[in-house]
Amino acid sequence: MAEVIRQQYESLKRSKPEPAIYWAFIEGERNNVLKEYQFSGRHASSTTSASSMSLAVGNGQIVTVTRDPPGELHMHVFNEGPFVGRHQVAVAKAALAWWESYLAEVETRLRE
């Protein structure tokens, strides 16, 4: 089992910088948090009656969120890197899907 896992990880390392979801998000955010004590995201919130909110991110792009239904409005987006402007939860869901696929491939190789 250890050999299959090692081979799978060696294959992943050879493919760097792809898949970006692993190298830029999973590995990159892990290193940001554990080694630099920072997140690469931006957060904005509003409790006013405004129907939308905009936030400028690192590359100058403007991200807008529309409130529906009325209530508090929170926006969490990446400020830099390949996921700039994307909602952090959406990227985390994509990372989870990637992990599930990666682990399924390891399990398949273990059954061979």
pLDDT digits (tens, 9 = 90+) for 37-79: 776 666 666 666 666 667 676 666 676 766 666 666 667 778 7
By CB atoms closer than 10 A (0-12, 13-18, 19+), residue 82 is middle
Yes or no: say if 8 and 14 are a contact pair by the CB < 8 Å rule: no
Yes or no: say if 109 and 12 are a contact pair by the CB < 8 Å rule: no
Cis check: omega of the bond before 70, within 30 degrees of 0 = no
Q: What is the pLDDT confidence band of residue 20, given thresholds at 50, 70 and 90?
A: very high
Yes or no: say if 43 and 75 are a contact pair by the CB < 8 Å rule: yes
Residue 2 has pLDDT above 80, yes or no: yes
In this prediction the pTM is 0.70
Q: What mean pLDDT comes out for the span 24-31?
A: 87
d(CA 43, CA 53): 11
pLDDT attached to residue 99: 95
pLDDT attached to residue 24: 87
